Chains A and B, each alone.
Chain A
Amino acid sequence: MKEFVTITIDDQEIKARPGEFIVDAARRNGIYIPTLCNMPGVKPAGSCRICTINVNGRLMTSCTTPVAEGMEIETISKEIEDFRKAVVELLLVEGNHFCPACEKSGTCELQALGYRLEVMAPRFPYQFPKRDIDAGNPKLVKDHNRCVLCKRCIRTILDEEGHHIFAFRYRGHQLQITIDPEYGMNMTDELAQKAAKNCPVGALLYRGKHGFEIPIGKRKYDKEPIGSDIEKLKKVKTS
């Protein structure tokens, strides 16, 4: 197997590791492709479609597509930008995202993508679905109004013996995450905190009096857009 493959991302030639996903190769080279369901180092789900890019003329998700020799990739264009905006807008109207009343506000990745893509108002009608808040777990509050079904909790939260704590239940528009009644009850504080941290939105909140701890103006996405840390890599490299 070759040691590396050469691909072109936005007119920039890049050496990528064989088998590496496009999103990761881009990131290593300071090119930010917006993601929501994706987490570095975790098997991709390809569920949110935010990371859609143009590979040799076809739209594909960069988190699930491995690099291949000679790929010509476009990560940003008017068409792609509008597509990404539409995805954020669909997610905003599909659930009940009352940002002013959410303690994840300011560190929420869905919101941060909205800011970065300058989503001022969705083009789709609001659905206002009736969804429950599940406060049955002693360490986590699960709010289905905010869940974007990214499967991050399902994929990353396992107890010491390897049991999955989260799973999907129901199908179609009723699909929701559920916490295992037994393993969920015995979750450690660390694991519950990790679950809340890995949730990109405010669907999983760690219980306790620590909501709204960081003042407005000092939260993660108040001053700098999501992806700035990756784009800074490029500035260092080129200067």
Chain B
Amino acid sequence: MSNRKVIATTSLAGCFGCHMSFLDIDERILDLIQLVEFNKSPIDDIKKFTKECDIGLIEGGVCNSENVEILKEFRKHCKILVSFGECAIMGGLPALRNTLPIEECIREAYLEGPSVSDSNEEGILPNDEELPMLLNKVYPCHEVVKIDYFLPGCPPRADLIWDTLYALVTEQEIKLPYEVIKYD
């Protein structure tokens, strides 16, 4: 039991689709659970690191101050960090805002957009110290901390996640068939 590898996962500026794809490994999850235990992860709902981990899976890019904090925490507690999914690798759809100034995005979202222009007459903007601050743009994870492996895809194919994870956990060379590397 004790020599099982420890895995942590998180979703930063992502949609949880990559985690869904992770669950799409189907019955192989029973094999996986023989090999690993989960620590901080939405899968077992452990909120804080309780031990050092071998592998950290990062879904989503970095769009606010909380994402930066969590990502740095993952880097500190995980021996291997894996970016999985287009958002973690290039910012993904949240990064569509990167060509616009942040003021314009906030104005559209809270003041001028068709769904808010009538309902926010006082022009209130979210501004509370409990709320994370938005960054000027959405960053890929590897532009914030060192990332060791990248699994592209939107979402990454379940076979890609399985093949990579299995190889990392059993300390073998990662061999990937052509069909599993996709950017969409």
Contact = CB atoms under 8 A, between A and B. Distances in A.
A128 B143 contact: no
A225 B151 contact: no
A121 interface: yes
Secondary structure of the B contact surface, majority rule: mixed
Interface string A66-78: 0000000000000
A116 B152 CA distance: 13
A49 B55 CA distance: 38
A99 B91 contact: no
Interface string B75-108: 0000000010010011111011011100000000
A34 to B, nearest CB: 15
A216 interface: yes
Contacts of A126: 90-91, 95, 98, 140, 143
Given A99-B86, A100-B92, A121-B142, A128 B184 contact: no
Interface of A: 92, 96-102, 105-106, 111, 114-116, 118, 120-122, 125-126, 128-131, 216, 222-225
Given A126-B143, A128-B98, A223-B179, A99 B184 contact: yes
A100 B150 contact: no
B145 interface: no
Secondary structure of the A contact surface, majority rule: loop
A129 B147 CA distance: 24
Contact of B137 (A97, A102, A128, A129): A128
A224 B178 contact: yes
A228 to B, nearest CB: 9
Nearest to B99: A130
Nearest to A121: B150
Contacts of B154: 99-100
Contacts of A225: 178
B181 interface: yes
Contacts of B178: 115-116, 223-225
Contacts of B95: 98, 126, 128
Contacts of A101: 93
Contact of A111 (B89, B149, B150, B183): B183
B182 interface: yes
B150 A98 contact: no
Contacts of B151: 120
A144 to B, nearest CB: 11
The 7 tightest CB contacts between A and B, nearest first, are A100-B154, A99-B183, A128-B98, A121-B150, A120-B150, A130-B99, A105-B184
A129 B86 contact: no
Contacts of A125: 143
A115 B182 contact: yes
Contact of B92 (A98, A111, A128, A216): A98
A98 B179 contact: no
A129 B184 CA distance: 21
